[in-house]
Amino acid sequence: MKISILIPIYNVEKYLRHCLNSVLNQKDIKDVDLDIVLVDDGSTDKSLDIAIEYAKKDERIFVLSKANAGASTARNAAFELIKGTKLRELLEKNIQDENVFVKSYKNVRSFDKTDIKKLSKEDIDKNFIKLHERVYKTELKEINEFIVQDLPDDVYVHFLDSDDYLDERCISTCKRYIQEKDLSLYLHNLSSVDENSNTIKENIYIDVSKKPGFYQSGLDFLKQNNLYDFYFSCQGMFKAALLNSYKLRFASYMHYEDHDFAIILFSLSGKFFVDDRALLYYRSRSGSSMNSTKELEFPKTMPFYLENLRDYFKTYKELRLYYKIYSFCVAAGYIFKFYRQSVEIDKSFAKHKAFFDKCVLNLIKIFKISLKNDPLNIKKMLKSFSFDKKTIIFFFLKDLHRQPKKLRYIKNLRYLFKDKK
């Protein structure tokens, strides 16, 4: 069985060796064709040096160093470099034939497979510079602006954040269930490691533990468990080719990009198994992207997509809250688009309308902030959604009943109504 472990890296020199060793020391995987893709997202510490050190020692490791643009862009780069993709083959085998082309699509997140372009060897060489054997560098921030490939049909992938680590039988357990039950997606639980107290909390991925077991599809799992606001990236293993029909990738330059990715991926999934056992250790640490600072003062450096907003906000906390709401609205838009495109292809998909309506509305956090200061035009995004007034009022009345403090921003509701002005 071919398995690719995809690891985005950013300033984790303290944890990276532990992370990589947890993959290299997996038990009972002698019959696994293991591929490990490390994508360094412009680290300023020694993370890249450590990645290269490991690549020199183990031929299963492939490393890409890229310009900093966030975890989602690093994950997307890893997809394009899975062992078995044409790009990976061209780089690894050092093919010199100038007549070789790589098939690519122009866009992501679409069922349209006619938007094809051909990338020449010269195009590839311009964007990928070889540093060492199986180690390359690119100045591309988002690789999908250059290349979007069909992913191999015979490869399963599992993401792992570079400050986390796998249980020693994670891969073998995933493999066993996938092969025994012919799964397209296997979901497992997590344990949390508190960096300060060095204590472990098991089974923290609460949504997974609701109804463990077999499902005919990922969408069945979501609907039966009423999971309208769901996230997924490192909590399981899935068939890479699941992404091909919709050219699904993570949303670039966003926070919480694993929410819309999860809903769409699971909607594309066939046979599916939910296992309540924890097979990955999530490290809860200060300074990580999941536990970011709430300080008022702006940091000296920020991601470029936040830097552009610096002058619009008085405090860093205000900026981050605004960008959080913006990111959720973008995620809602992607889910809304997926549902509409799915119905265009298959009218029977409309039976899932109520579920997708709730997914979208759950992500529209319009009562969190005032939209008077709106540099990214969230108001315009809200106006692009199409819901009947009754659905909107019923949904948000429940939200206001639970948290009446949100009434102060109730005027934001008007941007969702059909008679928009």
Give the Å distances, CA to CA, from 26 to 21, 169, 214, 270, 343: 9, 6, 25, 27, 43
Please say if the pLDDT value at position 157 is more than 70: yes
Which residues, at least 6 apart from 57, have a Cβ–Cβ distance to it below 8 Å?
Answer: none
Question: Looking at residues 116-141, what average pLDDT do you find?
Answer: 97
Asked whether the beta carbons of 108 and 125 are under 8 A apart, the reply is: no
pLDDT tens per residue across span 29-81? 999 999 999 999 999 999 999 999 999 999 999 999 999 999 999 999 999 99
* pLDDT bucket at 391, cuts 50 / 70 / 90: confident
pLDDT at residue 288 in the model: 52
Per CATH, the number for 2-284 is: 3.90.550.10
Asked whether the beta carbons of 339 and 352 are under 8 A apart, the reply is: yes
Question: Could you tell me the residue ranges of all domains in the chain?
Answer: 2-284, 304-415
Lowest mean pLDDT among 165-169, 250-254, 314-318, 414-418: 414-418
pTM of the model: 0.94
Please say if the pLDDT value at position 290 is more than 60: no
Please say if the pLDDT value at position 287 is more than 70: no
Lowest mean pLDDT among 202-211, 221-230, 299-308, 368-377: 202-211
Please say if the pLDDT value at position 295 is more than 80: no
Query: Beta partners for 269?
Result: none
pLDDT tens per residue across span 348-367? 999 999 999 999 999 998 88
Nearest partner of 412 among 373, 375, 386, judged by Cα: 373
pLDDT tens per residue across span 207-224? 555 688 999 999 999 999
Q: Please tell me the distance from the alpha carbon of residue 356 to that of residue 197, in angstroms, as a whole number.
A: 40
Please say if the pLDDT value at position 317 is more than 90: yes
Q: Which two three-digit tokens encode residue 2?
A: 């071919």
pLDDT at residue 417 in the model: 82
Q: Please tell me the distance from the alpha carbon of residue 203 to that of residue 186, in angstroms, as a whole number.
A: 16
Please say if the pLDDT value at position 294 is more than 60: no
Q: Please tell me the distance from the alpha carbon of residue 22 to that of residue 285, in angstroms, as a whole number.
A: 19
DSSP strand pairing (236-239 vs 185-194): antiparallel
